[in-house]
A = this chain, B = another copy of it.
Amino acid sequence: MPQSNAGYLDAAAGLPISAVARAAEQAATEDGWADPAKLTGPGRRSAVLLDAARETMARELGVRPDEVNFVPSGSHALQLAVLGTVAGRHRAGTRLVLSAVEHSAVFKAADWHASRPGALPDAELVEVVGVDGLGRVDLDGFVTAASRPGVAAAVLQSANHEVGTRQPVAQAAAVLRERGVPLVVDATHEVLYGPAPAEAAVFAADARMWGGPAGVGVLVVRRGTRWLPPFPVDESEAGRSLGVVNVPAAVAAAASLRAFHVDRDRHAARLSAFIEQIRGTVECDIADAVVLGDPVDRLPHLLTFSSLYVDGEALLTALDREGFVVSSGSSCTSDTLTPSHVLVAMGALTSGSIRISLHPDVTDAEIERFLEVLPRVVDRVRADLPASGRTSLSEEPSQSPATAERLIDARGRRCPLPILDLARTWPDVELGEVVTVLADDPAAESDIPAWSRMRDQEYLGSMPREDGAVAYRVRRLS
């Protein structure tokens, strides 16, 4: 990895193109520029390279070459996986079941499926199954939903892209196979260090995750699975894709996955040890922070934590100034002002959430410096937070009109400010007293219950108001 990428701890957003990929792409350019579907000499030479890439990719994924299709991106792979499987099952039904923590490309596919002309109302067509506090899907709920009549396909990721929790794909697949329902698996992050989901009917991967070029997604359709194109296709990739395949990029994707896999176990062990060090630092040296996801059954190279009273974007910027690139599921960093749907589905704190994901070339020195820098940066960002909003004894009628309730008006304030307002008020709150927070930031819906849990206080619930804000009520227990 070039020096310019030192401090890059955002591997799960895509790796720099590896040296192997660059060399393979350049070597394949001379003979791989032509349309491999053409029967002319250049076309045949291109087809030979594409076949070789397909064989390498198939070997690395443990499938047959004719099950591997190169498509224009990881998002294309996911959407073709989901919607093509649904289309192939049109005789069985049109319902789609997915977990609440799938990648946004899967949700976009589901939305599109539900909104086609002539489609049934959304609720009928797409069923979303919840996850527990670690981000793991409710397996019973998932297989029950997927076993209902009219289900065309069920979708489950191998491991979550935001918090790293592995999903019970093998168990779900075993049950669904018996019931004849195809399981579509998002294997984007699992194929790096773990096995590909051999039990899936269809799965998808993205070459950007292992240092391949952009523009290469991998769609694997196992033999025996009925799959039909959901969008217009042509003769490309056996009628599963559209447009001339970028053959040098496919060659680079396959070569770089093979190279990535050579030392996969050693890398996984090393990165996993780094991740445990980071976990230790977060848990010991950062106050009011919580590491998210399953602590054991998880991706080896990824860790996410949330921290109270921190603006995620400010934290990203501060770490960037220290030379570290990470990502955040906090709504503070998003244009839409909605927090990560994964964290919300988990009921996790979204405030100040930071995902750290490591690449195999990360150095001991980088990790050491990150561990040294991280707590200091969190402290600094917290210190820079603005003043609190208005707090008052309620002038509005409370739920139980007998008692006046303390009211915090955090309307117009974005995360993490509503929680900060709550925390700053807390020392004045008496045991047993109920505080109401008025907030219109969508993150509050996840963050106020999460704060209450972290602080061992009693979250009493929420109620929408006419002005569009929501009133959240918390009772002081300790």
Question: Measuring CB to CB, which residues of chain A are less than 8 angstroms from any residue of chain B?
Answer: 2, 4-5, 8, 10, 13-17, 22, 26, 29-31, 33-35, 38-43, 72-76, 79, 104-105, 108-109, 111-112, 116-119, 208, 213-215, 217, 231-234, 236, 242-249, 316, 320, 325-327, 333
Contacts and interface: CB of A to CB of B under 8 A. Distances in A.
B214 A246 contact: yes
A335 B325 CA distance: 51
A402 to B, nearest CB: 49
18 contacts: A10-B42, A13-B34, A13-B40, A16-B33, A16-B42, A17-B29, A22-B26, A26-B26, A33-B214, A39-B316, A40-B326, A79-B232, A105-B232, A116-B117, A118-B118, A214-B246, A214-B247, A246-B249
Contacts of A118: 116-118
B14 A33 contact: yes
A76 B242 contact: yes
B232 A111 contact: yes
Contacts of A215: 72, 215, 243-246, 249
Given A14-B35, A40-B316, A74 B29 contact: no
Nearest to A30: B2
Contacts of A74: 243-244
Contacts of A26: 22, 26
Contacts of A246: 213-215, 246, 249
A242 B13 contact: no
B72 A72 contact: yes
Contact of A242 (B17, B75, B249): B75
A472 B15 CA distance: 63
A91 to B, nearest CB: 14
Contacts of A22: 26, 29
A108 B234 contact: yes
Contacts of A40: 10, 13, 316, 320, 325-327
Given A75-B242, A117-B116, A325-B42, A248 B213 contact: yes
Can you tell how many copies of this chain the complex includes? 2
A322 to B, nearest CB: 12
Contacts of A232: 79, 105, 108-109, 111-112
A448 to B, nearest CB: 27
A118 B104 CA distance: 27
Contacts of A14: 33-35, 244
A42 B117 contact: no
Contact of A243 (B38, B217, B236): B217
A407 B34 CA distance: 45
A236 B74 CA distance: 13
Contacts of A104: 234
A193 to B, nearest CB: 21
B244 A214 contact: yes
A17 B31 CA distance: 10
Contacts of A213: 33, 246, 248-249
Most buried by B among A34, A217, A232: A232
A350 B247 CA distance: 31
Most buried by B among A5, A34, A215, A234: A215
Contacts of A109: 232
Contacts of A30: 2, 4
Contacts of A8: 42
Contacts of A4: 30-31
Given A13-B35, A17-B29, A40-B10, A73 B316 contact: no
B35 A244 contact: no
Given A4-B30, A33-B214, A232-B111, A79 B42 contact: no
